[in-house]
Amino acid sequence: MDTFDIICDIIRENMGFDEDVDFTEEMTFGEMELDSLDVVECIMQIEDTLDIRIEDAELQGISTLGELVEIVRVKNGK
């Protein structure tokens, strides 16, 4: 499973999305109806699942799922 799929699964599980909901890397957190607290909760779960640490400064200005995925890919070495 690639990083995008892992992150999508975490978001689905933590935010109560149905399994058939399709996400794209271009989707914004607003389009996904995630507020800043939801995003932080998902990031914490991503960190725990992948055993990585994402600094707050790295998250400044991100607004799309793809931007988050790219940060995680770099941190995870993939």
Condensed to tens digits (0 to 9), the pLDDT of residues 59-72 reads 998 999 999 999 99
Q: Is residue 35 annotated as a catalytic residue, yes or no? A: yes
Angle at 7 between CA 5 and CA 33, to 5 degrees: 115
Residue pair 51/62 in contact by the 8 Å Cβ criterion:
no
| CATH fold for domain 3-76 | 1.10.1200
Angle at 24 between CA 45 and CA 8, to 5 degrees: 20
pLDDT at 78 over 70: no
pLDDT level of residue 58 (50, 70, 90 thresholds)? very high
Q: Which of 35, 38, 51, 56 is catalytic?
A: 35
Q: How is the chain split into domains, by residue range?
A: 3-76
The whole model's pTM is what?
0.89
Condensed to tens digits (0 to 9), the pLDDT of residues 19-36 reads 889 999 999 999 999 998
Residue pair 23/8 in contact by the 8 Å Cβ criterion:
yes
Query: What does the pLDDT read at residue 76?
Result: 84
